[in-house]
Structure 1
């Protein structure tokens, strides 16, 4: 989209035509790297975006560039994030972002932001430094929104549960929540010198943030005194966890 905007601004070619033309090579890349269904969905989404840009007039709500950059970035990021969660993209650079996010430790939003900083750094010479800076601010807001929608809504959380009713809790996790669980054999650490420490099973599972409240309620029914430790999980592979469409 950034490349299309710059070319349209300098040549006068219709933006809607450029959106389709410039994104086609990236869709071919998506077909080879991700899959046929992804490429088909992306073509439909990009053509839909081009038609909306060409035919639907948008009213001028404000002329304040800061408001345009921040809220424009928010809505842009929302659209990109929901598209990616649905298994498609609306911008070719998102294909590269998805591919590179699996190879590096960067998030999709971070990679999209880096791409557009590079694009609009060149745009500073074509347009102006001020416009380029506002454009970068737009994609900064978009990147944060993308990361929240893709990863923040169902952020993974590792749960460690120490309880004397560990077997009942394990069955609840696997049967009621439909999640996997791992059992560690441990010993209670609180005791006097030379005292035999009590052996206990420790349950570990990974769930989404939206399931934490339900899990805690179920644990409270089984053992109100259970010791629960929660920590954020950056990413996972395998197991019984919900994944976004592009990871399937």
Structure 2
């Protein structure tokens, strides 16, 4: 194993440890002392804990076992191994660490408990681990029956919170739903990143002018695809260039304005982007010193003069 792989390997497990600590803090300092629930397997363990006097650590491990066995046949062995280590880590932290209860305010418990648990789960997922078995169930049912993972997890938690309302109280169930929503949103944010980018695909007869304008006005890089003949409202189209770019969401209105001023009939497709690496996205093009760009601009202007 070379130095880079070793460093990445150590980094992954250090981040998983941070995720374990955050999740344990959210559970032990906020949710557990006040009988609040999260979603998934953790929620099942918390619910059972309100009814029987069994250590939360044991319940968490016990209810995770069936999902880890399912994961052995569903996801990669590496993920299962990391997940076993992570779940055992959370169980050990909950068992041995005596975090002090920080607040008794129910709204603060829901918010900060959800923030901590969601952050911990998100960090673990980013590093190839799962802290909640309901996600493994979602992957399995998606592969087997084509049901989306999100729907499986949501259905799982609807049942869980319905039981909570019946067994514990409607109020606790409502606060637990709030905790779950916050945790789920924070998990998504941590996994997908804080940067908010939009992917844009543009088809236009004036693609040359649009390329120049986007580079000049927004300073982002472009990828150009060669389009083949198709059939549209004006019959069979000629071959054309398709513009593809990634821009910050803040610049999306400006990009639309640029395209509309050049070609009001341009076809634009916009889509969300979760992660971006490399390219010229963060290192904006220097138009004044870029001689190749200036030559391109000059040739395009002559073409449309």
- Distance in 2 between residues matched to 1:104 and 1:155, nearest whole Å: 28
2:135 to 82, 94, 97: 94
Partner of 1:25: 66
Cα deviation, 1:189-230, whole Å, max 9, x if unaligned, reads: xxxxxxxxx9863332567665587268238553697xxxxx
- Distance in 2 between residues matched to 1:83 and 1:69, nearest whole Å: 21
- Distance in 2 between residues matched to 1:209 and 1:45, nearest whole Å: 25
- Distance in 1 between residues matched to 2:141 and 2:187, nearest whole Å: 15
Superposition CA RMSD, Å: 3.6
2:157 to 96, 105, 116: 116
Q: Structure 1's 59 and 40: CA in aligned 2 closer, same or farther, altered over 3 A?
A: same
Partner of 2:284: 217
Q: Does 1:59 pair with 2:96?
A: no
2:243 to 193, 198, 203: 203
- Distance in 1 between residues matched to 2:224 and 2:188, nearest whole Å: 27
- Following superposition, the deviation at residue 98 of structure 1 comes to 4.2
- Distance in 1 between residues matched to 2:108 and 2:61, nearest whole Å: 28
1:77 to 106, 111, 118: 118
Q: How many residues align?
A: 203
Q: Structure 1's 156 and 216: CA in aligned 2 closer, same or farther, altered over 3 A?
A: same
1:142 to 161, 183, 200: 183
Q: Report matched runs for 1:24-43 at 5 Å.
A: 24-43=65-84
TM-score (norm 1): 0.67
TM-score (norm 2): 0.56
1:184 to 223, 227, 231: 227
Structure 1 residue matching 2:244: 3-state secondary structure: strand
Partner of 1:192: none
5+ residue gaps, structure 2: 1-41, 215-220, 230-237, 247-272, 298-305
* Structure with bigger gyration radius: 2
Q: Structure 1's 113 and 105: CA in aligned 2 closer, same or farther, altered over 3 A?
A: closer
Partner of 1:193: none
Which deviates further from its counterpart, 216-225 or 115-124? 216-225
5+ residue gaps, structure 1: 170-176, 187-197, 226-248
Tell me, yes or no, if the aligned pair for 2:139 and 2:149 is still in contact at 8 Å. Answer: no
